[in-house]
Structure formats: C-alpha cells, structure tokens
Structure 1
Amino acid sequence: MKLTVLSRSYCSLCQKMLDALAPWQAQYGFEVQTIDVDGDEALVDRYNELVPVLLAGDTEICHWHLDEAKLQAFLASIHFYSEN
C-alpha cells in the first residue's frame, strides 16, 4: 500500500507530518510517496491552502497535521477489507 503526502519544499508542517508518519510506516509497512504540489498546477488549485495533505489514492485522510485517529481508522478499514 502507498500513501501520498502532498507537500512543499519550504513547508515545516510537511516535514512534521512525514516525521509523524515514520512510526506508522514502520509498524504497518506502507510506502510513503511525497509530491511537491507546486510542480502541478492542478494540485495547487485543489490543495494549495491544505498542504500538507495525506492521501490514499484520491482519498484524503487528513491535512495540516497528521490526524492519528483518522489514519488508524483508515488502516483498520484496509486491514478489514484485505481479510475478507
């Protein structure tokens, strides 16, 4: 599974989100892809004021700060569906 963090190179909140994701990544083994929103005008139009944004595909899990409750709920739902 791959999660995506939409970020900016000068964004301290982005680095904090990536740092906060690290223990979750170690525990659950998902890949984290980082995309600079400023490299894609469509991403700027859609997410400009929300960066950093944590996505699973096109589904937004959270933005600005890592919401651990939302991430846990997402990971639990993925685990549930992978077992069935």
Structure 2
Amino acid sequence: MAIELTLLSRSYCHLCHDMEVALAPLAEEFAATVTVLDVDADPALEARYDEWVPVLLHGETELCRYVLDVAKTREYLAGFR
C-alpha cells in the first residue's frame, strides 16, 4: 500500500522548504509519495492553514507543523509496514 503524504507549503517560506528537504529521506525510506500544495493557490487551504504552514498531512491526519518531527513521523509511517 502506497503512503501518500501532503505537505502544505508556501513558495517563499523557508520553514516549508526546510521541511520538504528534511522529509525526503523519510519518504524514500517508507516509499511514500509527497505532494506539495501551495496554500496561497487555494483559498480554502489558505483560510484553514494560513499561518500554520508548513503542515504535513496523511489524509486528514496532521503529523506535524512548522518543523518536521522526525521521530513522530517515522513512528507513524512504520505503522504502515
């Protein structure tokens, strides 16, 4: 079963970029795909997550925001093996 993660981001957000870079090794380790969505391109996402980005989601489950919690994310993803 493929794991599909969503990273809510902004193009000018250094924390967003940092999370995307930090997430890459975990995504590779767990064969997860990561879709990066720009909250500024979607009014509904912007209204909901405006100041919270970056936010890492698996479906509707929020895994972390602002910085990647590597231990929590790894533990969560390990549950799908």
* TM-score with structure 1 setting the length: 0.87
- Please state if 1:63 is matched with 2:65: yes
User: Structure 1 residue 32 and structure 2 residue 38: aligned?
Assistant: no
Distance 2:4 2:17 in 1: 18
Q: Is the 8 A contact 2:26 2:74 kept in 1?
A: no
RMSD (Å) for aligned C-alpha atoms: 1.0
Match of 1:72 in 2: 74
State TM-score, norm by structure 2: 0.90
5+ residue gaps, structure 2, are none
In the TM superposition, what is the alpha-carbon distance from 1:73 to its structure 2 partner? 2.1
**What amino acid is the match of 1:42?**
A
Q: CA deviation at 1:31?
A: 0.4
> Post-superposition, which runs of at least 4 consecutive aligned residues in structure 1 deviate over 2 A?
76-79
Q: 1:4 aligns with which of 3, 6, 18?
A: 6
More helix by share: 1
Structure number with larger C-alpha Rg: 1
Structure 1 position 16, deviation (Å): 0.3
Q: How many residues in Structure 1 have an aligned counterpart in Structure 2?
A: 79
